[in-house]
Amino acid sequence: MQQCRSAANQSTVTNSSTWLDEPLRHVIESQQFDKKALSEIFNVSREMEDVRPGTDASMQLQGRIMSTLFYEPSTRTRLSFESAMARLGGTVLSTESAGEYSSAAKGETLEDTIRTVEGYADTIVLRHFQAGSARRAANAASVPIINAGDGPGQHPTQALLDVYTIQREIGRLDNFSIGMVGDLANGRTVRSLAYVLSMYENVKMYFVAPDVVKMKDDIKDFLTEQGVSWEEVDDLKAVSADVDVLYQTRIQKERFQDRPEDYDKAKGKYIIDDDVMKLLPKHGVIMHPLPRVDEIDPAVDEDPRAAYFRQARNGLYVRMALLKLALAQT
């Protein structure tokens, strides 16, 4: 067991300016947001929950165009962004499997693709297989770039919707505990979530993962520097009894192409089932970024503490808010 304890969290170091002050509101990584920006995003997200078809609110982005440029498969993220744009009256230009069916297959660089596509759209939502690709795209772009996942790097919009869901489900973002379970080495969602939660007070993080996919040292070192209390634990049931939020993730088989033996070591080790649910506090919630494989028993779906489908729905509202705020500056 490895741990780092602190009496209280310290806020992450932020610049004097906030994301809301940026002339071009890219969404690249979780660390770029401070509590002021998050509060505004979440307030607008609550407003988005009340948007209805045919109202003035549903036409806020009329005349605006969003391009979704996805080099990796996606269902929830791509469709939620496209639904978000449509629900605000905007237009979508969509491509999936861009690496196979776009000019990238001919050798075009990401930067050249971005400079071309920005001529057709007011914002670009990018999913790419390489960590750091969203930053490269933003450096080349004159329209807002929204990172929808960059390989094993980050997934900032998922982190924002996760934090929004925690706030909606347990009513607070300070003074709670969370267990992050599963593939913590390859899971960009847990990395991004850890960065955001480090900004709040007295958040205790438990990391529950097979040895081959433990949380990477850069995240643990960052949390330690920020005074965040974290602990690596082997016993899922023990953690389940002590947390307010249990955040499960799947073992990402696609990240084990050259080492299938490690995948076999990791899969199926930590499963949320009825035995775990009996230990979870009555006020606790189960979250999952989806898709799931076998790491949550489908029987858990009927438990009101299973929040993962509500979590996916919240992604729509958060992405509506991000699109509105990002395009407000352009």
Length reported for the chain: 330
- Inter-CA distances, 66 with 146, 209, 300, 323, Å: 10, 37, 37, 9
What is the set of active-site residues? 76-77, 106, 127, 155
Q: Count Cβ atoms below 10 Å from residue 140 Cβ, excluding itself.
A: 16
Asked, as a colleague might, if the bond just before 289 is cis with ω within 30 of 0, I would say: no
Instruction: Find tokens 């990395």 and name the residue.
Output: 191
Do 66 and 126 meet the contact criterion of CB atoms below 8 Å apart? no
Structure tokens belonging to residue 28: 């690249």
Residue of 57, 119, 132, 56 lying closest to 93 (CA atoms): 119
Do 213 and 248 meet the contact criterion of CB atoms below 8 Å apart? no
User: Each residue of 279-292: b (16+ CB within 10 Å) or e?
Assistant: bbeeebbbbbbbeb
SS3 state at 58: helix
- Inter-CA distances, 102 with 99, 116, 159, Å: 6, 12, 29
Q: Count Cβ atoms below 10 Å from residue 81 Cβ, excluding itself.
A: 28
Q: Count Cβ atoms below 10 Å from residue 35 Cβ, excluding itself.
A: 15
